[in-house]
A = this chain, B = another copy of it.
């Protein structure tokens, strides 16, 4: 699933900054691909992009109208439909990360078909997948794994990709969830594929590449989350990761939404992930720890990372506060030379 830049971002009638965090992610991580934003009259939010009309966006070459917003239930609100029709009429494709499918709205689908525009409902994988082969592919791969869901795996992998680019390395971020796909313009929602094809989808998402090329693969879920662990294991096997980065939210002690289940400690969490990953890549290493330390003050966060790094003999950073240079230094030192 791959859609075209530049993007024209739609904020709808959102009033809560959290509900447009996907759009904000696109604007933050791919500013060069964002041509402008548009919102409904009662929306008080902005991404800081030029606020322009459909005609202006079209004149500036906008290729895709992006719904990077959330609402209760994840459906396409009827009030948004006129905006979708305008986008199509102005020559744009549509990409949406909502549960409800844009392609299921008859009038939008009909106009898109008539005009030859494409609709990307990125939560709903399309195309033919194959089961995973487990066969070794060329190129190097970094995968984020977590002590839980929603602990910063996407942010961490996007930040590592940026840092690798700064170092002049060949690299691609590989998105496995709807927000990552909207930010990146391509990817596969691996938790939405048929169960038999989880590892196969990841093999397709991260194909053979140059021996010195880095795929930085967004993780999903956790091997210790009883709802989603199957997806996480398929990701481990399909990615054939050379390097695992362990992600954690400081202060989280129990599995999200399952308060009776304590989180694993870093050591047993990474050992379990490494053991599973070795099935398809016996040379996988632990490349470091990435934490969301927002529960701590600046000094405490630095101290926490220093302690964890000393305890586990790998770098530990909060990518928002400290960047990912320490992780990338370590990765390049241990896996940087082409075998």
Contacts and interface: CB of A to CB of B under 8 A. Distances in A.
Interface of A: 131-135, 190-200, 223-224, 226-234, 237-238, 255, 258, 260-261, 272, 275-276, 279-280
Q: Looking at A193, A223, A228, which has the most chain B CB atoms within 10 Å of its CB?
A: A228
Question: Which 8 interchain pairs have the tightest Cβ spacing?
Answer: A134-B226, A230-B234, A230-B230, A198-B230, A191-B196, A132-B227, A226-B237, A131-B227
A200 to B, nearest CB: 7
B226 A132 contact: yes
Contacts of A275: 272
A234 to B, nearest CB: 3
Contacts of A255: 134
A237 B227 CA distance: 8
Contacts of A228: 131, 196, 199
A127 to B, nearest CB: 15
A224 B194 contact: no
Given A229-B234, A237-B226, A275-B272, A258 B195 contact: no
A195 B190 contact: yes
Contacts of A195: 190-195, 197-198, 230-231, 234
